[in-house]
Amino acid sequence: MAKPKIGYVCEQCGADYTKWSGQCVHCKTWNCLKEVRLVSDKKPDRGRCIDGYAGAKSEVQTLSHVDAGDIVRISSGMQELDRVLGGGFVPGSVVLISGDPGSGKSTILLQTLAFAAGQRPVLYVSGEESMQQIAGRARRLGLPMEKIKMLAETSVERICELADREKPEILVIDSIQVMYCDGVDSAPGGVAQVRECAALLTQYAKRTQVILLMVGHVTKDQSIAGPMTLSHIVDTQIMLASTDDARYRIMRATKNRFGAVNELGLFAMTAKGLKEVNNPSAIFLARAEKPAPGSVVNVLWEGTRPLLVEIQALVIDSQHGNPRRLGVGIDQNRIAMLLAVLARHGGLFTGDQDVFVNCVGGIRVTETSADLAVLLGIVSSLRNRAVAEDLFVFGEVGLSGEIRPVANGEIRIKEAFKHGFKKAIVPKANRPKRRAGSGEILGVSNLKEAIDAIA
């Protein structure tokens, strides 16, 4: 018998190597190469899907002659999930939903299938839980179960065979890390198995135009378990995470070929499953009864809608020789840059003090509209003087101290006034030409004017 050949595959990017190395030369990750066998009695056929499902022959076409058509959207039954998806499910699309254990991945998929089963055939494939466990969860949530078809299987070939017979329009795989493909000498969850299983299931979904929903595990650093190739294969990648308050779940699309990325959806975990939260700003604005120094309300832009969040700052005398700059939900390098701008153009020096900045509610700030709120929060804490409770702030701060405008400024102002705020400090270019209701809007052009406005 011939001795099996051994190869190595990078867990992060999927690059192949003939011998082990400490670092992947493609993605520069250390200790990421895993051993795989290259010789097998039966090898998977990459050129076709299952049982002779050959792909159509390709022909060269002119782009202008390609009929793009209209993208058909199928509602999930939840507006927040539809928002994250870009308007709903697209036939033939592959969606990967990942998150920590207990975040609600299987629950939201079961709720989605219960809604869709009344209109189209669905199939739930479970490789981790028994049918009795899933049926018990459905009864506990009060979901209709008459039209939800179940399958307990981990073989991808068998799943595609049975799906061809049942012809579902929505197929759920829970989870991709426990599936296996015949002919791949690797344990389920390994790099080779995850890559081959995802590729075969994706090819099946594209050929049959079925909506494929896959559950994915995460590692301890919140990245998708398995090869990076998995993220490249799918059309949409969604992360479901808990907030600081364990009752709520944040859903965010980190990749979406059919909609905007970084769109945010908010759900509340209840005894009846995940319920939509239609007004996220009301949750993130659960402020103290008495205004406190360092607390400033900022209006972020998340995907396609404004979101009001509280930015908190704390400035104290440093007890050590090296002052700390710590940010939770905000990039620490940007905090250091803003403190330099504050010292140069605001006349306030914090080089001998520790500065802590927090975005309340577990929201991570990825845009620059929070710059002005962060600086005014630091100034408020430094002076130990609270800003007005009905004041909100947004604006980008440049290195020369200028306050630069941000996108969708008028919509942000209207959203804040709708929640009862009466005063605003915004970039001068974002100040509406017409009066926005009964609110007072102050347009500032530099940092000095903004600091004077809260004095």
**Number of domains within the chain:** 3
Q: How many CB atoms lie within 10 A of CB 354?
A: 17
Q: Judge whether 1 lies within some domain.
A: no
Q: Average per-residue pLDDT in the chain? A: 87
Q: Judge whether 54 lies within some domain.
A: no
Average pLDDT estimate for 87-114: 93
Do 336 and 448 lie in one domain? The reply is yes
Q: How far is CA 129 from CA 100, 138, 178, in A?
A: 17, 13, 11
Per-residue model confidence (pLDDT) at position 245: 63
Distance CA 389, CA 296 (A): 8
Do 272 and 328 lie in one domain? The reply is no
Distance CA 394, CA 219 (A): 35
Q: What is the pLDDT of residues 110-168, one digit of tens each?
A: 999 999 998 999 999 999 899 999 999 999 999 999 999 999 999 999 999 999 999 99
Domain boundary among 259, 278, 297: 278
Q: Judge whether 208 lies within some domain.
A: yes
The CATH number for 448's domain is 3.30.230.10
Average pLDDT estimate for 176-201: 86
Kindly indicate the confidence band of residue 407, based on its pLDDT and cuts at 50, 70 and 90: very high
Do 393 and 264 lie in one domain? The reply is no
Per-residue model confidence (pLDDT) at position 243: 72
Average pLDDT estimate for 92-112: 92
Per-residue model confidence (pLDDT) at position 47: 45
The candidate with the shortest Cα–Cα distance to 245, out of 276, 224, 220, 266, is 266
Do 187 and 120 lie in one domain? The reply is yes
Q: Does the pLDDT of residue 31 top 80, yes or no?
A: yes
Per-residue model confidence (pLDDT) at position 51: 43
Domain boundary among 229, 258, 278: 278
Average pLDDT estimate for 270-291: 80
Do 448 and 303 lie in one domain? The reply is yes
Per-residue model confidence (pLDDT) at position 214: 95
Kindly indicate the confidence band of residue 331, based on its pLDDT and cuts at 50, 70 and 90: very high
Per-residue model confidence (pLDDT) at position 109: 94
Q: Does the pLDDT of residue 364 top 80, yes or no?
A: yes
Q: What is the pLDDT of residues 377-393, one digit of tens each?
A: 999 999 999 999 999 99
Average pLDDT estimate for 355-372: 90
Do 261 and 116 lie in one domain? The reply is yes
Do 264 and 338 lie in one domain? The reply is no
Torsion of CA 160, 162, 166, 172, to 10 degrees: -60
The CATH number for 179's domain is 3.40.50.300
Q: Judge whether 59 lies within some domain.
A: no
Domain boundary among 254, 278, 302: 278
Kindly indicate the confidence band of residue 182, based on its pLDDT and cuts at 50, 70 and 90: confident
Do 105 and 16 lie in one domain? The reply is no
Do 31 and 97 lie in one domain? The reply is no
Share of the chain above pLDDT 90, in %: 56
Per-residue model confidence (pLDDT) at position 1: 46
Per-residue model confidence (pLDDT) at position 44: 47
The candidate with the shortest Cα–Cα distance to 240, out of 250, 231, 248, is 250
Per-residue model confidence (pLDDT) at position 37: 65
Do 351 and 439 lie in one domain? The reply is yes
Do 198 and 308 lie in one domain? The reply is no
Do 179 and 298 lie in one domain? The reply is no
Domain of 257? 73-278
